């Protein structure tokens, strides 16, 4: 179910799923993985460090070093949301715009953002804080990937841990006007799961990119 502006739990739920869920599930699976196994976390370029205010970036780096620091950063964000100060807090503002669907008669100066619910072809304006929560939760996922990769250094059971952005893909979340097909979106995760032998990196279009 896609979050709507009336869902007050969307902020913490996204962090629980994308950040803590990815971290804890990976830690549970690690002992069962064969040598040279791979963990690929499907993240988003909307979580790139450059999208956060400069004053938050040291905290993002610290979050990749310990779960305590990661939780502190996520709680800092949730606190800013609860107080209505998430914009002033330096968190990412709403991100990308999508091409206007052909059935919408929008004014030429329209500069809003829309979300297509492909299963219903419904349209609503996205709430900025909800989009920011998605970015922050994925930044938490990225930190978790870096943390796990660091924890594996020196271990006899080598497991490669990376994160990637599949792009804007034609799924029920992004809608049929997204530019990438499902097959194109799968290319980078499959590449990381089958060919790459590096760890602790962020990939898009099968290339390493800055966090």
Q: What is the pLDDT of residue 166?
A: 93
Query: Alpha carbon of 154 to those of 11, 27, 37, 44, 158: distances in Å?
Result: 36, 16, 15, 28, 8
Q: How confident is the model at residue 95 (pLDDT cuts 50, 70, 90)?
A: very low
Task: Quote the pLDDT of residue 129.
Answer: 61
Report pLDDT digits (tens) over 163-206: 999 988 888 877 788 888 999 999 999 999 999 899 999 999 99
Q: Across residues 94-111, what is the average pLDDT? A: 49
Do 164 and 204 meet the contact criterion of CB atoms below 8 Å apart?
A: yes
The per-residue pLDDT for 178 is 82
State the average pLDDT over residues 35-50.
94
Find the range with the poorest average confidence among 22-26, 124-128, 183-187: 124-128
pTM of the model: 0.80
Within 13 Å, how many C-alpha atoms sit on residue 145's CB side? 28
On the question of pLDDT at 3 being above 70, the answer is no
- pLDDT at position 107 is 55
pLDDT at 117 over 70: no
- Name the pLDDT band for 40 (thresholds 50, 70, 90): very high
The length of the chain is 211
How many other C-beta atoms are found inside a 10 Å radius of the C-beta of residue 130? 19
Predicted confidence at residue 103, as pLDDT, reads 44
């Amino acid at each position: 179910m896609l979050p709507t502006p009336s869902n007050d739990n969307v902020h913490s739920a996204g962090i629980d799923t994308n950040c803590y869920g990815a971290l804890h599930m990976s830690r549970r699976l690690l002992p069962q993985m064969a040598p040279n196994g791979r963990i690929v976390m499907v993240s988003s370029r909307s979580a790139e460090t450059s999208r956060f205010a400069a004053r938050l970036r040291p905290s993002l780096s610290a979050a990749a070093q310990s779960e305590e620091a990661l939780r502190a950063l996520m709680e800092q964000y949730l606190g800013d949301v609860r107080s209505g100060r998430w914009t002033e807090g330096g968190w990412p503002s709403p991100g990308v715009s999508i091409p206007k669907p052909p059935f919408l008669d929008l004014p030429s100066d329209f500069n809003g953002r829309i979300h297509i619910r492909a299963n219903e072809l419904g349209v609503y304006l996205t709430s900025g804080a909800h989009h920011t929560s998605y970015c922050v939760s994925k930044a938490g996922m990225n930190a978790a990937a870096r943390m796990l990769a660091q924890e594996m250094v020196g271990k006899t059971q080598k497991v490669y841990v990376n994160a990637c952005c599949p792009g804007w893909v034609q799924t029920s979340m992004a809608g049929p006007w997204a530019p990438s097909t499902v097959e194109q979106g799968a290319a980078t995760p499959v590449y990381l799961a089958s060919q790459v032998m590096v760890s602790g990196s962020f990939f898009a279009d099968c290339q390493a990119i800055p966090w």
